[in-house]
A and B are shown apart, each in its own frame.
Chain A
C-alpha cells in the first residue's frame, strides 16, 4: 500500500507541475507577458516598467525558476481589474461556490444512488424505463438551457423563488437543482449498471439461497461491491461540477468562483484566471488522488497489481 500511495502522490505532484509549466509556456507564447498581465490598454511606459521589475529580459530558465518560486509562495500577481492580490479576490468567492457545489453534489449522490438502485431492482419494468428516460434527458440537457427554463417557470411564472443572487435562503434552490441535474443523471446510470452487474453475480444468488434477508444482502453484498464503481464516478463528478458551476453561477448571478472566472476570462484579467485555474487543478488532482487511494484500500487487487 505504501508503494501504491507513493506512486500516486508523485503522479499528482507531476500533474500540478505540468499544469503550472503549461501556463508559463502559454504566457510566453501569447506574446509579451507584461502586456498580457497589464491588459491591452496599458501604456508602453507601464509595460516597460513591468518588464524591468519582473526581469523579463533575464534568461528564460531564470524566469521559469522565479515563476515556480513565486507560485510556491502563493504569489499569483495582482488582479488587473481590482488592483488587489488575485488570491484575495478568488478566496472571497470560495464560500459561495463551496455551498452551491456541496449542496448539488449531496443532492446528486442521494438521488442518483436511490434512483439507480431502484431502476436496477425493477430492470425492464415501467419504473426502470421512466428512470432511464429521465436520466437520458438529464444528461442531454445542457445546464444553461435547464437553468434558463427553471428561471422562466419558477421565478417568472410561479414566482416562488428569486431569479438569482444569494440574498435569501431560497436563492440556493434553482442553482443547486441546475448544477445537480447532470451529475444525478450520470450517477443514476452508473449505479443502475453497477447494481445490475452485482445482482447477476453468483455470490448474491448464494446469499439469497442461504436465506439471508433482503436488507442484509443489499448492505453486505450489493452495496459493498457496487461501491467501487461509484467512488470512481463520484470522483469524476467533481470535474463535471466545476464546468457546470461556471455556467450555473453565471446564469443565477451566484457570487462564486465560476462566475468570477468567466468574467475574468472575458476581461482578460490573467492573474485571477491563473489562480482560479490553479485552485481548480489542485482540487481535482487531490480528489483523484483520494479516489485512487480509496480504491486501493477497498480492493487489494489494485494496489498489488
Chain B
C-alpha cells in the first residue's frame, strides 16, 4: 500500500494533469478556429447553393459573358463575375466545391474502409495473407498514383464510374500500413490475449479492442487524406480527364479558366483561391488533430 503522502501527491498530480488537459482542449489555436470557421461557412453555402438566390450554375447567358465581379465593373447579380458562357461564377464555385468535396469524402471512405480492413486482417492473421498485403502496400507506394490513374482512364474512359473507384484506391495503403502495425501491437496486449483465452470471437476482439485503439490515428490520416484527394480530383479534372463538363468541379473550373487568363483574371482567381484555402484549412485541421491526439508530440509545437 502507498503511504498517505504519496497518495495525496499522486492525486494532486492527477488533478493538475486533468486540468492541464482540459485547458488544452478548451483553447483552440487561432489558425484552427479560422480554418474551422472557413470550412463551416464554405460547406454551408455549398450545400445550400441550390436554394440560394443565385443564378443556376449551368444557366448560360451569352450576353453576359466574362462579366467582371461586383465592384470591378460588374453588377451585384453576378457577385464574382461570370465565365466564358455567362454562367455565374459564385454559383459554379459553390456547386464545384460541393462536388469536389463529396468526391473526396467518398474516395476517403472507400480508401479507409478498404485499407483498414486489409490492415487489420493482415495484422491479426499474419501468414501468407499478411505477406501479400505487405507486398501490395510496397507496390502501391512505389508506383506514382498518377501513372495508375492514366492507365485506368485510358483503358476505361472518363466518367464517375471510373473516377470514384480510382479516388477510392488512392491512399488505401496509408490506412493499411498504420492499422496493420497497430493491430500487431494491440494483439500482443494482455487484455486481448485474455479475451482470446476466454474464447472471444476474432470479430468481437477486433471491434471491441483492436479498432477502438486506432480511431485517433485513423481520424488524423483521414483528414490529411482529404486534402490529397481534393488535389488529385482537381488535378485530373483540370487536365480534362476527371469530372466532365458541364458539371463543375474546382479543378475543371480552373481548366476552363486557363484560356481566359489574359482577359478575365477573376475566372481563375476565385476558384484558385477557394482551392488553396480549402487545402490549407484541411491541412491545418489535420495537424491540429494530430497534435491533440498524439501524446508524443503534444506540447512540442
- Which residues on A are within 8 Å of B, measured CB to CB? 11, 14-15, 18-19, 22-23, 26-27, 29-30, 36, 136-137, 139-142, 144-145, 148-149, 151-152, 156, 163, 239, 242-243, 246-247, 250-251, 261-262, 264-266, 268-270, 273-274, 276-277, 280-281, 284-285, 288
Contact = CB atoms under 8 A, between A and B. Distances in A.
Secondary structure call for the B interface:
helix
Contacts, number: 119
Given A243-B235, A284-B144, 4 more contacts: A145-B272, A149-B272, A242-B146, A265-B154
| Best-buried of A11, A152, A265 by chain B (most CB within 10 Å) | A265
B57 interface: no
A15 B275 contact: no
A144 B261 CA distance: 13
A246 B232 CA distance: 12
B283 A136 contact: yes
A274 B151 contact: yes
User: Chain B, interface size: which category?
Assistant: 35 or more
A27 to B, nearest CB: 6
B261 A243 contact: no
A23 B239 CA distance: 22
A280 B279 CA distance: 27
B283 to A, nearest CB: 5
B142 A273 contact: no
Contact of B265 (A15, A22, A152, A261): A152
Interface of B: 135, 138-139, 142-147, 150-157, 227, 231, 234-235, 238-241, 251, 254, 257-258, 261-262, 265, 268-269, 272, 275-276, 279-280, 283-284
Contacts of B280: 136-137, 140
| Best-buried of B231, B257, B265 by chain A (most CB within 10 Å) | B231
B254 A273 contact: no
B239 A280 contact: no
Closest 4 CB pairs of A and B: A30-B155, A145-B272, A140-B280, A243-B146
Contacts of A250: 238-239
B143 A284 contact: yes
A185 to B, nearest CB: 11
B142 A284 contact: yes
B283 A139 contact: yes
